[in-house]
Amino acid sequence: MSFVINNISKSYEETRALRDVSFETNEGELFGLIGPDGAGKTSLFRILATLIFPDEGDASVKGFDIRKDFREIRKILGYMPGRFSLYHDLSVKENLEFYATVFGTTIAENYDLIKDIYAHIEPFENRLAGKLSGGMKQKLALSCALIHRPDVLILDEPTTGVDAVSRKEFWDMLKRIQKEGITILVSTPYMDEAALCDRVGLIQHGKLLSVSKPGDLRFDEAMILYSFRCKSGIYEYLSKIRGLQGCSSAFLFGDEIHLLVNGKKEAEELERAIKGWNVPALSLKQITPGIEDYFMALMKSEKHDDLMSEEH
Amino acid sequence: MRVLLTLLRKEIKQIFRNRMMLPMIFVMPIVQLTVLVYTANLEMSNIEVVVVDQDLSQYSRGLVSKLDGSPFFVVKGSVASYEQAEALLLSDDVDAIVQIYSGFEQNLINEKEADVQLIINAINATEGSLINVYSNMIIRDYSNNLRTELSGFAGQGMALNIEIIPSYWYNPLLDYKIYMFAGILVILVTMIGMFLSALNLVSEKELGTAEQINVTPVKKYQFLLAKLLPFLMIGLFELAFGLLIGVFLVDLPIRGSLLLLFSVAFVYLLVTLGLGLFLSTISSTQQQMMLVAFFIWVTFILMSGIFTPTESMPVWAQKINFINPLSYFMRVIRMILLKGSGFQDIARDFYGLLIYSVLILSLAIGNYRKTT
């Protein structure tokens, strides 16, 4: 097992960034950590990258303890922080060379591993890293994180702020890196990327809500998901729908509302109620849920529980 | 070793790619040494005085022309009443009033004694006391001349007169520029040591590049050493460059051994670099670091004895100077350059700085955290 995380908790003054998080990843797995901003993804990654210590719990990377064997971990780990952290005033090649030497290796030695990625930026080898575009910066950062052929790779929101085409390209690269036997732990706020991982963990408010394979995500048999569209005033309808009996959750999804109903009878009632509103250009139909729907529903219920428990 | 070399190469590349760096290295010493040496000057000239001469006699006019003739004073004019003179002093048109009462000449001839009143603007206390000293000197000189003149021929009625003839060692012409030049060299070297390396380290923290280094096997002493060495070299270069300017510009004497001077400077730079690195380990932004460093820097400079000797400071201030590296180097550089002191004379300061450098560097390295 590459990453073993046991009951990790971490607080910053008032905020509890991580609460009792535990999970394990398999050898060579591409594990995704999905959650909104401020969920605790970065804190967890910084703990695994030996940059901060947890308050409670323990963790290990490839069998090395994050407290005792942090020196060993730093040799086998590639870490790409969310913010571009290479030297702006060194060129592309100088950055890569620098990280290769620091890890006691050379570009030539591991060139085959980064070839696919580095080929994109090689024509700009002599350009200063600070002058690269966002997508190229990200490719350089990934190249630098891989240049010492790490056993495990931690990528903190690598696709944030990257256009859709580059995002797809980036995930293709990750798949190829994974084939080299490198375990990858990646975080993202984009739920559609969850489907590309072997397994995903859903994290919110510092709590790990679930870990599962993307294909295994299923609603309860009785749950029915509707898509609601209308011409205008969608926010008003959202609050109206939320007020309806039998609607267990409703959320905006692009320009439509997805609403979840528990039970066939309730669904019929709800359908009748909405039709009674005489919504202009209404489209209301049952749909098959995607990963996003599953997560939204899960997060929604968690938030609800949180509020309840804080009131008590 | 290879890691250290790589780190050093990276630092040097970055230093020389920084557009501000070369002007800083060359322009700063030229400006500081040429401008400050002449402006941070305790010699006064062109003190403007107004005279209220109520005697209008030969002797009173003699005194006025004596003042005017000295290099220190410029007599801006003569007014009839004290009120007019006071108005000029209040409006800051003159620095001092010389009032000669009527009967000045009469009293001198009859009673061998007469009063002259001196009113000095002492908003700047140093300036005020200097004006007092200068004018006393001139008036005493004038009265000595008169005494000879009035006593007719030598020997008769001559008062016993003891004259002190001072001999100014190490700086016979009392050239203030030489003294100041050495002091400003210290400031220059300190600035390089304390600010440049510290800013460099904090900016790595700010940009997040330090974090990327922290997840590599680079050891923290390697990382900090690579930050320290280039600036140590720049600091020593600045000293050499400054000395060169001094020799050509103000005839700066170099009486002691240059090797000794550079050895002390080396240790001194380790202290200031260590101090700067320590400050950057406790701050997370350049702004924080600059504020703290600036506070320490100004305090240390003013207490270092650049203007006034540390021995004349209160005892508690002298105790604080124990941790002020500038006061050590300020003393040593003047001793070596102006006095030609050898190692024996500065051994105490040298060892003091050496211990200081070991302490502060261990503190800086110990305080730098790769993991928090």
User: Is the pLDDT assigned to residue A233 strictly greater than 90?
Assistant: no
pLDDT exceeds 90 at position B231: yes
Residue B327 lies in a domain: yes
Looking at B151, B185, B202, the residue that finishes a domain is B151
Q: Evaluate whether residue B162 is within a structural domain.
A: no
Contacts A89 to B, Cβ<8 Å: 13-14, 17-18
The helix or strand, by DSSP H or E, that contains position B77, with its residue range, turns out to be strand B73-79
**pLDDT value for B137:** 83
Residues B212 and B70 in one domain: no
My answer on whether B115 and B201 are in the same domain is: no
User: Taking the CA of residue B265 as centre, how many other CA atoms within 13 Å lie in the half-sphere pointing to its CB?
Assistant: 30
Same domain, B65 and B93: yes
Tell me, yes or no, if B284 comes closer than 8 A to chain A by beta carbon. Answer: no
- Say if residue B197 is in the same domain as residue B219: yes
CATH number for position B72: 3.40.1710.10
B98 three-class SS: strand
Number of separate domains in chain B: 2
* Phi, psi (degrees; rounded to nearest 5) at B92: 70, 20
The residue of chain B with its CA nearest to that of A47 is: B371
Tell me: do B185 and B279 sit in the same domain: yes
pLDDT digits (tens, 9 = 90+) for B156-185: 545 555 666 777 777 776 677 888 889 989
- Determine the average pLDDT of the residues in B69-91: 87
B4-47 pLDDT per residue, tens: 999 999 999 998 888 888 888 888 888 888 888 777 666 677 88
Tell me which residue in B3, B17, B211 faces A102 most closely, judged by beta carbons. B3
Tell me the angle at which helices A92-102 and A134-146 cross, rounded to the nearest 10 degrees. Answer: 20
Contacts with A79 from chain B: Cβ below 8 Å:
212, 215
Query: Is A200 within 8 Å of A214 (Cβ atoms)?
Result: yes
So what's the pLDDT on residue B41? 66
Q: Are residues B319 and B334 in the same domain?
A: yes
Nearest to B372 by CA among A49, A144, A15: A49
Average pLDDT over residues A271-278: 81
Per residue in B37-59, pLDDT (tens digit) is 777 666 677 888 999 988 888 88
Higher per-residue confidence, B18 vs B257: B257
Distance between CA atoms of A155 and A166, rounded to whole angstroms? 16
Residue A245: predicted pLDDT: 77
With contacts defined as CB-CB under 8 Å, which chain A residues touch B2?
101, 104
For residue B363, which of B271, B278, B293 has the smallest C-alpha distance?
Answer: B278
Same-domain check for residues B202 and B71: no
Q: Quick one: closest CA in B to A83, which residue?
A: B208
CB contacts < 8 A, A to B, total: 68
Q: What residues of chain A lie within 8 A of the CB of B208, using their CB? A: 81, 83-85
Taking only residues 99 to 118 of chain A, the set having a beta carbon closer than 8 angstroms to any beta carbon of chain B reads 99, 101-104
- In angstroms, the separation between the Cα of residue A95 and the nearest Cα of chain B is 9
pLDDT tens digits, residue range A124-140?
Answer: 999 999 998 888 888 99
Percentage of chain B lying above the pLDDT 70 cut: 93
Output the pLDDT for position B29: 87
Asked if residue A150 lies in contact with residue A118, where contact means CB atoms within 8 angstroms, the answer is no
Domain boundary among B120, B151, B182: B151
**The pLDDT of residue A308:** 43
SS3 B283: coil
A51 contacts B371? CB cut-off 8 A: yes
pLDDT level of residue A301 (50, 70, 90 thresholds) = low
Residue scoring higher pLDDT (B262 or B370): B262
Q: Given CB atoms, is A84 within the 8 Å cutoff of chain B?
A: yes
Average pLDDT over residues A2-21: 88
Among the listed residues A181, A114, A103, A121, the one whose alpha carbon sits nearest the alpha carbon of residue A146: A114
Q: Convert chain A into a string of H (helix), E (strand) and C (coil).
A: CCEEEEEEEEEECCEEEEEEEEEECCCCCEEEEECCCCCCHHHHHHHHCCCCCCCEEEEEECCEECCCCHHHHHHHEEEECCCCCCCCCCEHHHHHHHHHHHCCCCCHHHHHHHHHHHHHHHHHCCCEHHHCCHHHHHHHHHHHHHCCCCCEEEECCCCCCCCHHHHHHHHHHHHHHHHCCCEEEEEECCHHHHHHCCEEEEEECCEEEEEECHHHCCCCCCEEEEEEECCCCHHHHHHHHHCCCCEEEEEEECCEEEEEEECHHHHHHHHHHHHCCCCCCCEEEEECCCHHHHHHHHHHHHHHHHHHHHHC
Please tell me whether residue B152 adopts helix, strand or coil conformation: coil
Whether residue B131 lies inside any domain: the answer is: yes
C-alpha B324/C-alpha A189 separation (Å) is: 52
Task: Decide if B137 is inside a domain.
Answer: yes
pLDDT at A307: 45
Domain final position from B121, B151, B181:
B151
- The residue among A311 and B205 whose pLDDT is bigger is B205
Tell the residue number behind the tokens 């030539």, with chain if given. A108
Closest partner CB to B371 (pick from A50, A75, A89): A50
Q: Looking at the partner chain, which of A51, A71, A98 has a beta carbon nearest the beta carbon of B10?
A: A98
Q: Which of A53, A87, A101 sits opposite B14 (nearest CB)?
A: A87
* Confidence at residue A309, expressed as pLDDT on a 0 to 100 scale: 45
CB-CB contact of B242 with B161 (8 Å): no
Is the pLDDT confidence value at A239 over 90?
no
- Cβ within 8 Å, pair A74-B216: yes
- Judged by CB atoms closer than 8 Å, whether chains meet at A90 and B209 is answered as no
| Phi, psi (rounded to 5 degrees) for A67 | -90, -50
The pLDDT assigned to B163 comes to 65
The Cα A129–Cα A136 span in angstroms is 9
Q: Which residue of A has its CA nearest to B10?
A: A98
Within this chain, do residues B214 and B97 fall inside the same structural domain, yes or no?
A: no
Tokens representing residue B53 in the block: 């001469």
Same domain for B316 and B284: yes
Same structural domain for residues B306 and B191? yes
Residue B163 in domain:
no
- Which of B7, B211, B217 is opposite residue A103, by nearest beta carbon? B217
User: What is residue B200's three-state secondary structure?
Assistant: helix
B213 pLDDT higher than 50: yes
Indicate if B230 and B324 belong to the same structural domain. yes
B219 touching A (Cβ < 8 Å)? no
For residue B131, give the H/E element and its range.
Answer: helix B125-150
Query: What's the whole-number average pLDDT of chain B?
Result: 87
Report the distance separating Cα B50 and Cα A151, nearest Å.
87
Which residue of A lies nearest to B218 if distances are taken between CA atoms? A102
Together in a domain, B230 and B332: yes
Residue span of the structural domain in which B68 resides: 47-151
In SS3 terms, B205-262 reads as HHHCHHHHHHCCCCCHHHHHHHHHHHHHHHHHHHHHHHHHHHHHHHCCCCCCCHHHHH
- CA-nearest of B190, B201, B276 to B234 is B190
The pLDDT of residue B334 is 92
Query: Average pLDDT of B257-264?
Result: 96
Residue B249, pLDDT above cutoff 60: yes
Instruction: Write out pLDDT tens, residues B91-114.
Output: 888 888 999 888 888 888 888 788
Q: Considering the domain boundaries, does residue B329 fall inside one?
A: yes
N-to-C CA span, chain B: 26
Whether residue B157 lies inside any domain: the answer is: no
Probe site for chain A from B10, B12, B206, B222 (most A CB atoms < 10 A): B10
Identify the CA nearest to A160 among candidates A82, A103, A262: A82
**Per-residue confidence (pLDDT) for residue A310, from 0 to 100:** 41
Cβ contact A297:A276 at 8 Å: no
- What mean pLDDT, rounded, does chain A reach? 85
Q: What is the pTM of this model?
A: 0.78
Residue B160 inside a domain? The answer is no
